[in-house]
Amino acid sequence: MESVWIYAEIPKINQLKKLEVQCQILFDFQTLQSNIFHVKSNGQEKSYKLDYPKNSTSFQF
């Protein structure tokens, strides 16, 4: 099993209220692909797993 880790940080945001995510990374390569998102904002952490063919989700804080 292979994995790819991507870390992204969004600077200069006072308070994150909603984050919409659309991701199709590696879906064209492997239909068994899962993309897991961990989002932290204001001391709260939320996670969501996207399984093919679902490619979008949103987080509200």
DSSP letters spanning 29-56: T-TT-EEEEEEEETTEEEEEEEETT--E
Q: What predicted TM-score, i.e. pTM, was given to this entire model?
A: 0.78
CB atoms within 10 A of CB 35: 20
The confidence score (pLDDT) of residue 49 equals 95
Instruction: Show pLDDT as tens, one digit a residue, over the chain (61 residues).
Output: 578 889 998 888 888 899 999 998 888 888 888 899 999 998 899 999 999 999 999 999 9
The confidence score (pLDDT) of residue 27 equals 83
